[in-house]
Amino acid sequence: MFKSLSLTLSFLIASAPAIAVERPPQFVLLAFDNCQENQSWKQVSDFLDQMNTGSKDRLRYTFFLSATGLLADPVRHTYTDPMGRTGKSNINFGGGEDEVIERVRWINKLHRDGNEIASHAVGHFPGQDWSVAQWRHELDQYDYIINNVASINGLKGDKAKAATLAFSADQIRGFRAPYLQGGKNLIQVLGERRYAYDTSDSNQGWEPTTWPKRFLEALGGKGLWNFGLGFLTLNATQITEADLKAGLPRQKKSIKLPAMDYNFCYRQTGGCAEKDPFKAEQDKDAQEMLVGYLNYFATNYNGNRAPVHIGHHFQQYRGGSYNRALMRFARAVCGRPEVKCTTYKELTDYMEKLGTTGRNQVQEGRFDKAAPVSIEELVQSAKLASE
């Protein structure tokens, strides 16, 4: 009798940890990488304007900006990459000077509206094996470009004014490595500088209900926040590159992958080639991604409220179907009570206030739970959410 009572009690204690902290908001971090195409700047800007009409704080994005977009093609050789070459990049340079000026206008507008501009380096190279000196060089080049867009592009007068960013490099506090390939030397170099967080680590994300931690390597554990992308486990239609070549059909099975448009494109089409072999199924495939995102949100919202991290690109993979699905996701979740669809800077501020003890308590879910949201309800509201 006594024994079974104590067992029951210990079960209750284990399943409902004592309340220790105030319930945290559900942070949702929606970010874009590269950020080159002016048409996509317009699309995200229009969407933010719609979302924030009436309730100003419904949605903010973080933009991981590649600095190549700020160098017009004729001045591409002013950039020296960490391998010592000039004028090279794995993504486009800025195009004509008018395109650069238009890009700066969008960046300044969205920055003014409270969105965050963070760094995605300059040349879009995989830097996993770079030395400390090579990373320092790349980040120096980045800062130089941010601070001198007009003069590097040889612009004068009104054009120079229009091509000047409304912020300086030292206000940029966040980083995401191209191809998510950063590594230890990157973390050291970011830690030496003004950076507050890095979002390149794809290991911590293997458990999507993980509250962020700091990188232990940097500054004795007091350094950068590690905001890695969430990894999802879901049933999705997929094919390998080899099976695609062999003419085999796609299969639906369980996969684990980061919450990123490119990764869905890659797995669902066997390589994410520009010419989509499954064009007729773009929206159906994007729907699988959307349901994966909604499950990610519901699990965390109903659980320990660990932040939801999703990364997309300005490039419109598969006819823009993934980015349209992301907009449906934002409409379905952003603006709900206790949900903050906001910038990494705001998450950084929250984590700093929470402190290590608070972070460990929310990780364990030691707070009073809210009424749960059902996945059916979320799927329904995502269906109702127009593009």
* Chain Cα centroid distance, residue 343: 10
Q: CB-wise, 190 or 339, nearer to Zn ion?
A: 190
- Of residues 340 through 359, those in contact with Zn ion by CB under 5 A are none
Torsion of CA 313, 215, 59, 282, to 10 degrees: 30
Q: Which residue is at the shortest CB distance from Zn ion?
A: 33
How many residues lie near Zn ion (CB under 5 A)?
3
Q: 34 or 269, CB closer to Zn ion?
A: 34
In what helix (H) or strand (E) does residue 83 lie, and over which residues does it extend? Answer: none
What residues between 178 and 197 interact with Zn ion by CB under 5 A? 178
How far apart are the C-alpha atoms of 277 and 147, rounded to whole Å? Answer: 43
Q: Residue 270 — left, alpha, or beta (φ > 0 → left; ψ -120 to 50 → alpha)?
A: left
- If we measure between CA atoms, which residue out of 188, 193, 233, 229 comes closest to residue 212? 229
Q: How far is the CB of 89 from Zn ion (least distance, A)?
A: 11
Q: Which stretch binds Zn ion (CB under 5 A): 10-18, 30-38, 52-60, 291-299?
A: 30-38
Among positions 239-268, residues that touch Zn ion (CB under 5 A) are none
Coil/strand/helix, residue 339: strand
What the block records as the tokens of 358 is 């608070």
Residue closer to Zn ion, measured from CB, 90 or 356: 90
Tell me if 320 sits within 8 A of 40, measured CB to CB: no
x/- mask, Zn ion, residues 159-178, rule CB under 5 A, reads -------------------x
Q: How far is the CB of 321 from Zn ion (least distance, A)?
A: 19
In sequence order, which residues have a C-beta less than 8 Å from that of residue 64 and are 6 or more positions away? 31, 32, 33, 34, 35, 118, 119, 120, 174, 175, 176, 199, 311
> Applying CB under 5 A, which part among 26-34, 43-51, 159-167, 276-284 lies near Zn ion?
26-34
Specify the residue, 320 or 365, whose C-beta has the smaller distance to Zn ion: 320
Site string for Zn ion, 31-50 (x = CB under 5 A): --xx----------------
- Give the shortest CB-234-to-Zn ion separation in angstroms: 23
Q: Applying CB under 5 A, which residues contact Zn ion?
A: 33-34, 178
